[in-house]
Structure 1
Amino acid sequence: MLNLFKKKQYVTVPSGKTEQKTVNEIVESKNSIPDGLWTKCDGCGKIILKSDLENNLMKCPNCSKYFRIAARQRIDLVIDNNTFKEYDRDMMSLNPLDYPEYEIKLKKLNKETGLNEAVVTGEGLINGEKCVIAAMDSNFLMGSMGSVVGEKITRAIERATEQKIPVIIFTASGGARMQEGIFSLMQMAKTSAAIKRHSDEGLLYVSVLTDPTTGGVTASFAMLGDIILAEPGALIGFAGPRVIEQTIKQKLPEGFQRAEFLLEHGFLDAIVKREELKKTLYQILLMHRR
């Protein structure tokens, strides 16, 4: 009588007999499915097979919400096959402020992501047009800009200046890296100065803002592009919406700090869908070919 109201489901077993299973037992059997096959969309709330997501350029097949992608995925999306030559791959951060457990966190992220830092830089071809490219990765400390991120981006820009070729930077960052303090903030000036020297040579810099682009990255090289593009729905700003609302004591407009809002108010040149990005960048490179 104790199990009288316990919901049961009948299933057929190989012997042809009927077996009773409780809901809990069914759930436990489903938990034996390997992890990592499915993910949930934050936009529509539906469960998606990860392989379907990857085949759709990391966009939800139901609501088209953009999922964040890793730096190397980003590079593979736009750079011609087997043409990418990576710069400064082995460069790693130190701990200049002796921040507690910072080295441990960096080693853990290296193991999880296969990256030494939050940006991948190098050169390659886009439909045969040569450029220098940098792609930030939000999987590594939220793409925060420490001394190595700033140094790698600066070196990449300087190489482009020497070769007299365009620079394309994909931004994805939570801003300056708090574990490095003033060393992180110095990267804002250093990267901006490198962009200025590149511009003085009459060379092209295209900035592509992805979700999220915030803080010190927004306040430096992200918004210095000759042409500034963004992915649909990308969060772009300096301080976050909640911080701003608490400061000014006002409710912000719908979609504030999203790419569409910034395009409407003149901060962007265009919003480009992921599947059209390589073609768009190629057209821009052709238009500005020296």
Structure 2
Amino acid sequence: MATNRVKNSRVAPVILAGALAVLLAGVLLFPGCGEREQVRDDALARVGETVLKLPEFNELFELAEAGFSGYGLGYTANRKESRRQFLNQLVEEMFVLEYARVNGLVLTPEALQKAEQGIWRDYTFVNPDDPILGKDKAGEEQEQAAPQDLTEPPEAFVSVLRDQALTFQLWEKGLARRLLLEQAISREMDGRVQVSEEEIKAYLAENPVIPQMRPEEDTAYEKSEAPEGEDAPEPKGPSLEEQKRIARKVLEAQKAQDEYAQWLLELKERFPVSVRPDLL
């Protein structure tokens, strides 16, 4: 049976992106804070030796409110409920962070810098017509800088943080946390997610791709001078290879979430967890 393994760099972001959706749907792996052992110190939550205190929780909640990548808040008019939901998300992550600690996984300064430079690069292109950022360079052709050439965040990036009332230090702390989570998830998930050609065929049989008219075909149809009554050409859909690629991506995402959920259950059995939701 032919199978396709998912590479590390693809699994972790998919899992982290889907984890919040699972939480907000109410399918919590750790459904009620009352079911967990209550801690007796000033820690808001503790998983093994990984500790979350209220100041750190507040910082991460601030990032979530600002829409920091990887975090998000479900719609609720009750701020206390939002914080409780977010605590559930962080407790889930703490199991992964404890796994990282036990296995000696650390984020190197070089890895953090490389990730930062990759993000900053998206902020180095300045539209000359931009009324703010481009006003001093109107008429000049702007190009994106090579990531390795960026030794500090560009002004456009700093401006975005400023608009969101976030400090660079807080943003960097949140990024480092996400990167370590991805590193730990990748280490464990590599090889777990496999999709066979038979599964792809079965998926396409149950979920046929509906052909959609491409932009150039749509334009050609509108300008067509064919006699009235003649059949217009059928719109072309994705090629078979493109359909397979889409199907594989969908199946990989589904399997990654299933494997991640199972892994978290294994970690829950392995590491003791305790919380104090009354501190929120």
TM-score range, shorter chain: under 0.3
* TM-score, reference length from structure 1: 0.24
Which structure ranks higher in relative contact order (CA pairs < 8 Å, sequence separation ≥ 6)? 2
Structure with bigger helix share is 2
Higher strand residue share: 1
| TM-score between the two structures when normalised by the length of structure 2 | 0.25
